[in-house]
Amino acid sequence: MEELTLENLPKTSRDFFNRGFGALERGNVDYAIEMLTACVEESPRFVRAWKFLRAAEVRRARKKTVSSLTRGIDTVVKMPTYLSALGLLKSGKFQSSMMMAEKLLRDYPEDVKYAMLFAEAAAAANMPEVALLTIETVRDANPDNITVLSWLGALYQKLGRMRSARECFERLCEISPNDPSALKQLKDAMALDSMSSDGWEKNADKGGTFRDMLKDSDEAALLEQGAKSTKSDTGLDSLIADMLQKIEGEPNNINYRRGLANMYLQKRDFEPAITVLEEAVALNPGDPELERTLSNARIRFFESQIEERRQAGDENGAIEIENKLLQYKFEDLQNKVERYPNDLQLRFEWGVMLFENDYLNEAIQQFQLAQRSAKNRVQALYYMGVCFRAKKQYDIASRQLESALADLPVMDGNKKKVLYELGEIAGLMGDTTKASDYFMQIYQSDIAYRDVATRIEETYQQPTDTE
């Protein structure tokens, strides 16, 4: 069923959404959740409301400190609600099940069990985008959860987002390299990423096999040939000719054009790939995924030209094209941010690029917006801290990094990076004791991280008064 947009939203739902969105911008998270919940209850197919509702729930949940005892009690208290939602799902009352599961997510939006129940109900209710944003939220908080990665990868495939599916299954295989099911999922995703498979959505719902997802055995043979064609230009030429014929019959089929562009990219025929993608964007404007593929194709074309110049010994020519590539990346991302001002992922990427080009104030502005996204909140806070450090505003930098640290319960690469930065800033402010405390936290977890071993050991080698 078609998703609702703000333009065709009922007036009451639009009022709820506007109030909720405004409250979220002002930092009134509780009222935002109340209004956005009212909006999705009345208009559950309005995906934007779900996005902001989930972001508000995550923001509120991360500000709370919940002990293991409290969480255990909550799990018991919420069990009747969970069982009710599960029962509604099994009885085919998908939308009711989804809304019941939402009550569980309101307090624990990053809980895998609750999110999986909600997503299954949303997908069954023919609201895959609502299911997707919920599972993506949980994946960000549980990046190595096998169940989440497998389910999310399958949903990406169903929605035609083959590259994202492939990335999910690649991560799954890194975590479980000996799992034959994960390996098969990755192989299928890699093949599907190389071309468009007609009839995916229809057959995936029926649980068909990879070969069953194609119209007939001829298309199955073509796809199997395509999976092996990375070493054979002849095989790709055959697939390209077949796809061109399909496009001639259905010129408005975007998926055919995606598939054709991917084949050209496999052959490193960048110019025809770019042309095909430009045509696809013209047919389907406002598709961020399609625009991202086009941008990547143009970047790869630049990179191939740089490589050719260097192989020919033309270093000056290579440097000239490198400068053009940097200019293209800068302008392309700037244009995307202007077209999609509410896309917080683009805001974050634009902030990183501004930071890398020493536009510190402009970068800080983008990171201040990007931190509203649960996915990029920690990284945005980290970059803000680094920016303020570069401006020698050490106290403000420390506050940003401490906020990031509060959202990092596990000693992973991100937490070490934030602690190290805090340690260096404390040193710059003359607080050697505090600096040592930050470095010690890393030292106790990973003695080989950067130069923390040297820093800590130097503190033990300083002479004492009795020496």
pLDDT in tens, 380-410: 999 999 999 999 999 999 999 999 999 888 8
Question: In what helix (H) or strand (E) does residue 39 lie, and over which residues does it extend?
Answer: helix 29-42
pLDDT at 50: 92
Q: CA–CA separation, 67 vs 62, rounded Å?
A: 13
| pLDDT tens per residue, range 266-324 | 888 999 999 999 998 898 887 777 888 899 899 999 999 999 998 899 999 999 999 99
Structure tokens at 430: 């003359």
Average pLDDT taken over every residue of the chain: 82
The least confident of 55-69, 254-268, 452-466 is 452-466
Mean pLDDT across the stretch 148-152? 86
In sequence order, which residues have a C-beta less than 8 Å from that of residue 157 and are 6 or more positions away?
A: 165, 188, 189, 192, 200, 204
**Cα–Cα nearest to 185, from 147, 228, 236, 231:** 147
Q: Residue 27: is it exposed, middle or buried by C-beta count within 10 angstroms (0-12/13-18/19+)?
A: exposed
Please compute, for residue 334, the number of CA atoms within 13 A of its CA located in the half-sphere on the CB side.
10
Count of C-beta atoms within a 10 Å radius of residue 168: 26
Q: Is the dihedral of CA 289, 292, 298, 302 positive or negative?
A: negative
With cut-offs at 50, 70 and 90, classify the pLDDT of residue 463.
Answer: low
